[in-house]
Amino acid sequence: MAQKYFIHTFGCQQNVADSERLASFYESRGFVRAKKMELTDVLILNTCVVRDRAEEKVYGMIRSLRQRLGLASPRMVVTGCLIGAAARVPDGKMMKRLTTRLPDVEFLPMEDVGFEYVPERAKGKTASIVISNGCNNFCAFCIVPFSRGKEQSRPFQDIMIEAKRVAEDGYEEVLLLGQNVNSYGADVLAKKIKEGEAYELPDGEKVKPVMVKHLNRHRIPTLFPYLLERIASIPGFKKISFLSSNPWDFSDELIDVVARHQNIDRTLHLPIQAGSNEVLKNMNRWYTREEYLALVDRIRTRIPTVRFTTDIIVGFPGETREQFEETIDLVKRVDFDKVFIAWYSPRPGTAATKNMKDNVSIEEKKRRFAELDAVTFKGHGKKM
């Protein structure tokens, strides 16, 4: 009889999409999907480490399942961001914690799964397509460059083939995913800049990569506007969304593509993280509040029906009351449709953990969270 597998996914939509590839990986090895966690031979936990609690939840789930099922416990496999971070955070403490607390669990790096497996997608209207993995930005608070490694864009042609297949399968909506989705292709174009060559798209169009002055620095161009335009032109798609964009990579070309295609989602998620220039600088975010506001204005001028959502961290190391008030002021000015708020917690390996003092008390972080939540709550928001 075929062995059964069950995948439990923690965290973000990219993890959900990764689990669809994991399902395909196991099915290609003869496993069949179990209906319940309690009835499986192999339990795969696709983990998250974005918050402190996320890591604890993995340990807690394994412990309680083993207590409940005793000798009938399934073989356990841990994959995802916890494994990636443990392998890459230089001090090795996370790996030590992992191997000490989970001595008899197998570890499966997502790199070993790769992208060759056609995702076993859940039934529904929307298909997720992962277009890139990892991030090179090293925002001071963020563990993603460790948990997922350097940014790697999938080949343009592979994504187009997957998108066309998804349309043929009858999906009407597609969600393009990447940790820094709109920097898709910057890694490829950076090499072309060095070589002094143009990049040829699968349909023959040549992209001449030139560094452009954008916001306050020179920026590597990306292939995202080209990819988005081609996916939006595939017959059958009624809605194309993308997550998560960095304001830094939100170019005028991208604004034009969104404006030109009515089937691209008019709700744009554009994480600001903080409304104070000093805090943004300390966070290693590469834009100022003025540049962010100007970007919002530019997008609103070209796409009048646009709605914005954002992420904000309150209580980042050193954030003063006045700096927090600048965040309040900014959210009022932009009038976001939804704000995902988190209070700062140190994550292993990050610049904030290594170099900054977590000096805003937990009580004050909670107060700022509640205050911002009250300002931004419109009756349909979701708290992190």
Contacting residues toward ligand SF4, per CB under 6 A: 135, 137-139, 142, 144-145, 179-180, 246
Q: How far is the CB of 151 from ligand SF4 (least distance, A)?
A: 8
Q: How far is the CB of 135 from ligand SF4 (least distance, A)?
A: 3
CB of 40 to ligand SF4, least distance (A): 32
Q: Tell me, what amino acid is at 224?
A: F
Q: Which is nearer to ligand SF4, 64 or 216 (CB)?
A: 216
> From the CB of 137, what's the least distance to ligand SF4, in Å?
4
Q: What is the CA radius of gyration of the chain?
A: 21
Q: Which one, 142 or 159, has the nearer CB to ligand SF4?
A: 142
Smaller CB separation from ligand SF4, 44 or 81: 81
Nearer to ligand SF4, 138 or 377 (CB): 138
What CA dihedral angle connects 213, 144, 109 and 178, to 10 degrees? Answer: -50
CB closer to ligand SF4, 79 vs 180: 180
Q: Which is nearer to ligand SF4, 62 or 249 (CB)?
A: 249
Return d(Cα 154, Cα 301) in angstroms, integer. 32
Name the minimum Å distance from CB 41 to ligand SF4.
35
Instruction: Indicate the residue among 48 and 102 with the shorter CB distance to ligand SF4.
Output: 48
d(CA 319, CA 296): 24
State which residue, 145 or 317, has the beta carbon closest to ligand SF4.
145
CB of 329 to ligand SF4, least distance (A): 22
Min. distance of Cβ 309 from ligand SF4 in angstroms?
15
Q: How far is the CB of 180 from ligand SF4 (least distance, A)?
A: 5
